[in-house]
Structure 1
Amino acid sequence: MNRVLFVCTGNTCRSPMAEAILRSKNIPGLEVKSAGVYASHGQPASRYAKEVLDENQISHNHASRLLSEEDLEWATHILTMTEGHKHAINQMFPNAQGKIFTVKEYVSTDEYNKDVFDPFGGSKEIYSQTFDELKDLIDQLIEKMK
């Protein structure tokens, strides 16, 4: 059983989109969640994140969650959107080291660009670009996990 936890800052943009994209693949033996290192509890996904998911026929029902130690214990793979998120988790939860990677670090050999662009506050077009980036990364993730 693989359990993937996507982590971003507020758990309203990138990590909920990544969670919804991976969940939509309906892969047997794979569970997925998302959380934020500085999230408020119970916030919906951002307006444009929801619109972009809807346009791509990806179902979603999201309420933001603050990252917890239980999440880290549950996860077999903790995939962050940035190096900063990875560093923050390592500082807050040193016992989780070894299973924390940026999404790009986990699926790619590009050692320079390890962050997924944050669309927060941007236009719908920016959210669409982030969605496309996440979709590509998740396709690579699926291949790597096979």
Structure 2
Amino acid sequence: MTRILFVCTGNTCRSPMAEAILRDKNIPGVEVRSAGVYASAGQGASMYAKNVLVENDIVHNHQSKPLSEEEMEWATHIFTMTQGHKEVINSGFPSMIEKTFTLKEFVLDDKYDKDIIDPFGGSEGIYRETFKELHDLIEKLVIKLKE
């Protein structure tokens, strides 16, 4: 079983979109969740995140949750949206370092550009850009996980 945990800041934009995109693929043997390093529990995804998912025929009923040691223990892979998120995890939970990567770092082996666009507070167009970036990276992730 492969268990993916996507992590962003507030768990209302990027990580829920990533979770929804991967979950929508219905890949046998893959479970997916999301959390936020500074999230409060129980918030829905942002309005624009929901709109962009609906535009792409993806249904996702999301409630934010803070990142916890339990969630990280559950995961076989932890994918953060930024290098900063990865550093928060690695400094607070050094035992998770072996399975924590930025999504870009894992998928693209990119040593320089490790951050995914943060749409928070931006226009719906920025959310569409972030969705496209996440969608493209997750397509590559699926291939890499099958290798």
| Range of TM-score over shorter length | over 0.9
State the match for 1:115 in structure 2.
115
| Cα separation, 1, equivalents of 2:42 and 2:98 | 29
Q: Deviations over 1:32-78 (max 9, x none)?
A: 00000000110000000000000000010000000000011000000
Q: Where do 1:5-44 residues align within 5 Å? A: 5-44=5-44
State the match for 1:144 in structure 2.
144
Give SS of 2:98's match: coil
Which amino acid letter does the alignment assign opposite residue 2 of structure 1? T
Percent of pairs with identical residues? 68
Shift of 1:145: 0.3
- The structure 1 segments of at least 4 consecutive aligned residues displaced by more than 4 Å after TM superposition are none
| Cα separation, 1, equivalents of 2:131 and 2:77 | 20
Q: Which moved more, 1:75-84 or 1:91-100?
A: 91-100
Unpaired runs of 5+ residues, structure 1, are: none
Unpaired runs of 5+ residues, structure 2, are: none
State the match for 1:132 in structure 2.
132
State the match for 1:49 in structure 2.
49
Which amino acid letter does the alignment assign opposite residue 22 of structure 2? L
How many residues align? The count is: 146
State the match for 1:94 in structure 2.
94
Shift of 1:102: 0.1
State the match for 1:67 in structure 2.
67
Give SS of 1:114's match: coil
| Cα separation, 1, equivalents of 2:109 and 2:28 | 27
> CA-atom RMSD, angstroms?
0.5
| Cα separation, 2, equivalents of 1:99 and 1:124 | 32
Shift of 1:109: 2.5
Which amino acid letter does the alignment assign opposite residue 85 of structure 2? H
With normalisation by structure 2, the TM-score equals 0.98
With normalisation by structure 1, the TM-score equals 0.99
Q: Which moved more, 1:105-114 or 1:38-47?
A: 105-114
